[in-house]
Structure 1
Amino acid sequence: MKRVLLKLREAFISVLPVTVVVLILAATPLVNFTGAELGAFCVCAVFLILGIGLFNLGADLAMTPMGEQIGGGLTKSRKIAVLLIVCFLMGVLITVAEPDLSVLAEQVKGVMNGTLLIVTVGVGVGLFLLIAVLKIIMRKDLSAILMFFYMTLFALCALLIESGKNNFLAMCFDSGGVTTGPITVPFIMALGVGIATTIGGKNSNENSFGLVALCSIGPILAVIILSMTAQGDLTYSIPSYTVASELSGFGGILLATCREVVIALALIIAFFVILQLTVLKLPRAKIIQIIIGITYTFVGLVVFLTAVKVGFMPIGLKLGKMLAENRAVLIAFGLFLGMVVVLAEPAIHVLNKQVEEITGGGVTKKEMLIALCLGVGLAIALSMIRIIYNFSVLYYLIPGYLLSLGLSFFVPKLYTAIAFDSGGVASGPLTSGFILPMAIGACSTIAPDAVLQLAFGVVAMVAMIPLITIQALGFKAVMSAKARNRITMRRILAADDEQIINFAWEDKNAK
């Protein structure tokens, strides 16, 4: 019960800031919500807290242990072929169950079959999870692999533009951001830890990172290839959902969501049962824990997805439409909302603590939090500017990724691995469930004929920021350490023997 309350508290902290901001806006002349809309939004906020809390608890009890046991157990068996096949299949199945991906598929179903999109993204994650596992086993450099695949990615972007399907570009990059969500990240990171720990070696800590980074590239590549084959009417239809329409169809939405979640989790459970009977053979206590975790995951997913569809997506859409009437307010609100969403994201605080520990205080939690808040706020503000002035998301993404990849040559490899893994942490449930609909709403007012290429891309922008932020802070920490060492050496070389002894004594006491 204590763990349930802790997860609910984290979810409350996550959802409260956005809820308060919307309610404050509702009291101003800038927006005009009905009482029914605000009431439904507040009720859905409560259910969103419940859904996120139960879902996160289920991930801790089921997805993380499953990842560690599969990674460690299959690596110990030394059946590498079996390990790779299992990683590919689990990558596909875990991604199919990802709630953020379901939210994205719901919003692009007008131009692309939602089921086909989800399966394609799942295959992309599975293939790149397989590549990531090979990286750990073969102890290959992450920076070089990232450089190769991002260059391939931008080459495919050029082909997509040449084929006249550039409307899909922003959506392709968003698919990478939403894939690394609350189900996928715990499982994949735990899988990496299990494999790296079992293999061992002096760089096992570093090798355990980087799986999420590679799994973010796979969906983008897969959806670009899928987009090249798209046929028929490619005109995006602006969603017509409202709080009233969603409430009237609440029963149908709930049943459809239950069916989707049952199918997604059933695939994972069936595959895990096969592994348990043939390879893992976990004790009964661990199996009971995983069953309880899957139950929490199911309930949390159903409540989360229903609350997003009924309350948050319609309110976000309408909010974007109304704020777009005043473009300066739209940009300013985007900046503020980005800062609030990151500040409230529980995974961000875990990441900040992790980076401070690994870097030995070279990058503090406070520095990380400030940098990420400003960075993600800026990302959303820039996305609003892009909607207003109508230009491609590549004008942001290409320089951003080139800067990220360039920094990887100047910072320790651990910073690069953590940075590229952290892209999915910043783009949490509220990004795809509230900020993306807000961008769609704003674009439907400003540029209704270009929603697909302008509104989408905001998730990709949010996911890109930690890549730059964490490595920039790492670069600063490295430069500061070098500067301190140079000053110390100059003082030693300029001093006589007695001063050196006194200096060493003072330095020892300071520590």
Structure 2
Amino acid sequence: MFYLQAFSHSLLHALKNLFPIIAVVVFFQLLILQQIPENIFVMAAGLLIVAVGVALFLQGLELSIFPVGKSLSNQFARKGSVPVLLSFGFAMGFSAVVAEPALIAVAQQAEEISEGKIKALTLRILVAVSVGLVVALGVFRTIFGYPLQWLMIIGYIVVVIITWFAPPEIVGLAYDSGGVTTNIVTVPLIAALGIGLAASIRGRNPLLDGFGLVALAVMVPMITVQLYGIVVYSGAPADPVALPTEAQTGTVDQTPVLLGMLLDLAGMVRDVLPIIITILFFQYLVLRRGLTNPRKILFGFALVVLGLYAFVVGLKLGLFPIGTSMARQLMGMEGYIFVYLFAFMIGFATTMAEPALIAIGHQAEQAAAGTINGNAIRLIVAVGVAMGITLGVHRIISGDSIHHYIIGGYILVIVLTALAPRYIIPLAYDLGGVTTSEVTVPLVTALGIGLASSIEGRNVLIDGFGLIAFASIFPIVTVMSYAIIVEMLAKQRKTDP
């Protein structure tokens, strides 16, 4: 009965979070395109399935991944073995990312569009190893209390320098690869690891020291993938890249419906399985202890898998068809004003409905003991994503170099990092990572490739990728700017008589 009540509450919450997406769809269909979709009932059912999936997923997190992640962190902290903690961090980061569906999709598109120069498997392994190493580095930082801002400032200075020398074919892909490493499974798990570890070490603050692992997991793959691109494209002239066909962009799917559903379910199990194996390995073989209440945890993992499956199925039925159709129609209209408007509104709406953002916002609210409002953070992040995607769309339309936009964006981030209150920095960087998971990535990637394919003179590999990078940068900017303004106003109120 308790689980049913919790599910009902989560379902109502999920339906409320989906309202912005529904509003955008209705607005564009009725007022801009002035059309009613033929499969409107299928799409409505898809939205309902999305809500059910989110509710199941969030309930599963509370029963399995969150408590297990925190418990393992606490046990390892009490054990006091730094090598074991670092090994656990690496294994957790690698296993959570290597089978990440968004990363697989981006890597496959990159291999096809680059005509085999970029190897999909190499890219995936490189990114997974990067994330594993960086989670281990984040664990090391939490243990010894090193401030995150200096790691991020130095790291992004390195990113900017490498971006300046990296070939244009790899820059957008590198930043997108960093963005897609965080999904609605990895973000809560990595966040739970950091918060649990910080809470179990004397003198550590969960808000200051617990967050930041997600940010590091986004940053380092940007460096390694650009280095990979420098090696791949060194001395080779940029070949013209053929526009992707419908089969390459995924707009045509010949897979039977039932088989496709089974493959999707198997994919969800595949995504969660490396995490389960890692947890069981460290729990039973390293700590040599059984799980407390294993049936409850197993039930929670089952809910996570079912929730992910329902979530993805609902997106395919409800959001992707209408999103693709509207994008094509809007690009066919005179001028690009409605493309900009669509980019802004869809960025805002998908972010507001992002399960990982909901989860980490809730964790931040708990860790900050009420000083941070989770709903306000979500709103600020959504505005940042909308601004970023809109600017990225403008870059594709104008044909400007991505180097200048990315370098300028991260220089701004570095400056804000030096000015922002210390308590907000880890959370701000993490929030930049959680905006690019299952809801946002497919829509944004399709929009970028679709625009680059439709505008004469654009190179799909150079211009089609990169929107995810913009969606990651600007939430960091808006959250830190918000914190700076709030702190300034608070100081002003104290000084005013």
Band of TM-score, shorter chain: 0.7 to 0.9
Which of 387, 391, 409 is the matching residue for 1:400?
A: 409
Q: Which moved more, 1:188-197 or 1:11-20?
A: 11-20
Q: 1:222 to 1:53 in 2, by over 3 A?
A: farther
Q: Which residue of 2 is the match for residue 465 of structure 1?
A: 474
8 Å Cα contact 2:106-2:177 kept in structure 1: yes
1:12-59 Cα shifts (integer Å, max 9, x gaps):
3343432443344334573878624x4544443333333333233333
Of all paired residues, the percent bearing the same amino acid is 27
Following TM superposition, by how much is the alpha carbon of 1:80 offset from its aligned partner in structure 2, in angstroms?
A: 1.0
Separation of aligned partners in 2, 1:234 and 1:416: 41
Pair 1:44 & 2:46 matched = yes
Q: Which residue of 1 is the match for residue 125 of structure 2?
A: 119
Which of 207, 210, 217 is the matching residue for 2:209?
A: 207
Separation of aligned partners in 2, 1:462 and 1:8: 27
Separation of aligned partners in 2, 1:120 and 1:387: 27
Separation of aligned partners in 2, 1:303 and 1:230: 39
Following TM superposition, by how much is the alpha carbon of 1:385 offset from its aligned partner in structure 2, in angstroms?
A: 1.2
The amino acid of 2:326's aligned partner reads L
8 Å Cα contact 1:93-1:268 kept in structure 2: yes
Separation of aligned partners in 1, 2:439 and 2:378: 18
Q: 1:229 to 1:301 in 2, by over 3 A?
A: farther
Q: Which residue of 1 is the match for residue 304 of structure 2?
A: 297
8 Å Cα contact 2:340-2:390 kept in structure 1: yes
Pair 1:487 & 2:496 matched = yes
Separation of aligned partners in 2, 1:236 and 1:168: 16
Which of 453, 476, 493 is the matching residue for 2:485?
A: 476
Separation of aligned partners in 1, 2:360 and 2:204: 23
1:434-470 Cα shifts (integer Å, max 9, x gaps):
2331332233222474223223222221221221112
Bigger Rg over Cα: 1
Q: Which residue of 2 is the match for residue 456 of structure 1?
A: 465
Pair 1:320 & 2:323 matched = no
8 Å Cα contact 2:364-2:372 kept in structure 1: yes
Separation of aligned partners in 1, 2:304 and 2:366: 30
* TM-score, normalised via structure 2 length: 0.86
Pair 1:376 & 2:385 matched = yes
Q: Which moved more, 1:145-154 or 1:351-360?
A: 351-360
Aligned length: 483
Q: 1:98 to 1:290 in 2, by over 3 A?
A: farther
Q: Which residue of 1 is the match for residue 427 of structure 2?
A: 418
Separation of aligned partners in 2, 1:247 and 1:79: 52
Separation of aligned partners in 1, 2:468 and 2:286: 38
Q: Which residue of 1 is the match for residue 72 of structure 2?
A: 70
Pair 1:273 & 2:276 matched = no
1:365-404 Cα shifts (integer Å, max 9, x gaps):
6765554443332222212211210113333322222222
Separation of aligned partners in 2, 1:41 and 1:443: 27
1:317-364 Cα shifts (integer Å, max 9, x gaps):
332222112311111222222333334445556666776787798876
Separation of aligned partners in 1, 2:164 and 2:279: 40
Q: Which moved more, 1:346-355 or 1:323-332?
A: 346-355
8 Å Cα contact 1:336-1:377 kept in structure 2: yes
User: Which residues in structure 2 correspond to 1:60-139 (within 5 Å)?
Assistant: 60-105=62-107, 107-111=109-113, 112-139=118-145
Q: Which moved more, 1:383-392 or 1:223-232?
A: 223-232
Following TM superposition, by how much is the alpha carbon of 1:239 offset from its aligned partner in structure 2, in angstroms?
A: 4.8
Q: Which moved more, 1:131-140 or 1:370-379?
A: 370-379
Q: Which residue of 2 is the match for residue 500 of structure 1?
A: none
Separation of aligned partners in 1, 2:13 and 2:355: 6
The amino acid of 2:308's aligned partner reads L
8 Å Cα contact 2:176-2:467 kept in structure 1: yes
Q: 1:295 to 1:224 in 2, by over 3 A?
A: same
Unaligned 5+ runs, structure 1: 489-511
8 Å Cα contact 1:247-1:310 kept in structure 2: no
Separation of aligned partners in 1, 2:464 and 2:379: 26
Which of 7, 11, 21 is the matching residue for 2:10?
A: 7
Following TM superposition, by how much is the alpha carbon of 1:247 offset from its aligned partner in structure 2, in angstroms?
A: 6.7
Q: Which residue of 2 is the match for residue 491 of structure 1?
A: none
1:412-450 Cα shifts (integer Å, max 9, x gaps):
211111111111233343211323313322332224742
8 Å Cα contact 2:7-2:59 kept in structure 1: yes
Separation of aligned partners in 2, 1:415 and 1:334: 27
8 Å Cα contact 2:123-2:225 kept in structure 1: yes
Separation of aligned partners in 1, 2:251 and 2:405: 37
Match of 1:409, SS state, is helix
The amino acid of 1:18's aligned partner reads I
* Superposed CA RMSD: 3.2
Q: 1:408 to 1:44 in 2, by over 3 A?
A: same
Following TM superposition, by how much is the alpha carbon of 1:74 offset from its aligned partner in structure 2, in angstroms?
A: 1.3
The amino acid of 1:323's aligned partner reads L
Separation of aligned partners in 1, 2:219 and 2:10: 30
Separation of aligned partners in 2, 1:79 and 1:187: 21
Q: 1:40 to 1:167 in 2, by over 3 A?
A: farther
Match of 2:80, SS state, is coil
Separation of aligned partners in 2, 1:50 and 1:360: 29
Q: 1:262 to 1:481 in 2, by over 3 A?
A: closer
